[in-house]
Amino acid sequence: MLNFVSCSQNTSSGEILTSTGNGVSRAGIMRTVTSSLGLELEPVLTEPRICDPFPDSKDGSAPVDRAKNSQPVTEVCLGCICQAVSGCKLGQQCEGDHCGLFHITWAYWADAGKPTLAGFSPDHPDAYRSCTVDPYCAAQAVQGYMARFGQDCNGDGQVNCYDYMAIHKKGGYGCTGDLPFDYVNVFNQCIATVAAHQG
C-alpha cells in the first residue's frame, strides 16, 4: 500500500483537501487563517496532485523514520507563519533564493528532508521548486524542518508556535536572535485573530 497523500483543491471554498486512503480530511493549511481573517484565495490547484513527503522510501511502502513523520506544527501555526511570511497568497512561485508561500530556500528544503511531489526523486532538478510552490508539499517541508530543528528559542521552557515562527525566519541555528518587527506583528495579529474566532 502506498503512503502517498493525494492533494487536491476544493476550488469553491479554497480548501486544500487530502485523501490518505481512509477517506477525505481537511488539511486546512490556509483555510483556518483565511476564513478567520476574511481573506479570499484564488484557486490555483485545479488538478489532483500526489505528494510524497517522504521520498526516501523507494516505493512508498517502506517504514518511515518517526522523526521524519513528525508533524510538530499545528495547522493554525502553519497558517500564521504563512501569513507572516507571504500574506499566504496562493500561486507564488520562486523569487530570488526562495520559493512559494513559505519562502523556502533550497537549504531549508534540504534540511527538511527534501520532500517531493510524487514522481520526483529528491535529486530531480525540479524537485525543490515543484515542492516549495505546492502548498501541501511546502507545508510538509516546514514540518520536516521543525521536526529536525524544533527548540525553545524564547526561553519560556516550551517549544511552541512562537518558537517555530522564529525558527522559520532565523533558521535552526539562530532562532534566538531578533526578528523583524513586521514579521512578528503580522504573526501575532494572525494568532490573536484566529484565537478570537475559535474562542
Q: Could you report the per-residue pLDDT of 55-96, keeping only the tens digit for each?
A: 443 333 323 333 444 799 999 999 999 999 999 998 899 999
When pLDDT is cut at 50, 70 and 90, the band that residue 129 belongs to is very high
Q: Please report, rounded to a whole number, the percentage of residues in the chain having pLDDT higher than 90.
A: 60
Mean pLDDT throughout 98-123?
96
Strand order in the sheet with 5-10: 24-26, 15-19, 5-10, 49-52, 116-117
**Separation of alpha carbons 158 and 84, rounded Å:** 22
Q: Please report, rounded to a whole number, the percentage of residues in the chain having pLDDT higher than 70.
A: 65
Report CA-CA distances (Å) from 51 to 3, 8, 10, 26, 121: 9, 10, 16, 15, 12
Contact yes or no for 32/18 (Cβ under 8 A): no
pLDDT at 51 over 50: no
Map out the domains of the chain with their CATH numbers. 5-198 (1.10.530.10)
Q: Mention every residue, 6+ apart, whose C-beta is less than 8 A from residue 114.
A: 55, 122, 127, 128, 131
**Separation of alpha carbons 122 and 160, rounded Å:** 29
Q: Which residue has the cell 504563512?
A: 82
Per-residue pLDDT, 2: 24
Q: Is 120 exposed, middle or buried (0-12, 13-18, 19+ CB in 10 A)?
A: buried
**Separation of alpha carbons 131 and 120, rounded Å:** 9
When pLDDT is cut at 50, 70 and 90, the band that residue 198 belongs to is confident
Output the CA angle 143-131-146, nearest 5 degrees: 15
Contact yes or no for 177/164 (Cβ under 8 A): no
pTM of the predicted model, to two decimals? 0.70
Select the more confidently predicted residue: 176 or 199. Answer: 176
When pLDDT is cut at 50, 70 and 90, the band that residue 177 belongs to is confident
**Separation of alpha carbons 120 and 127, rounded Å:** 6
pLDDT at 118 over 80: yes
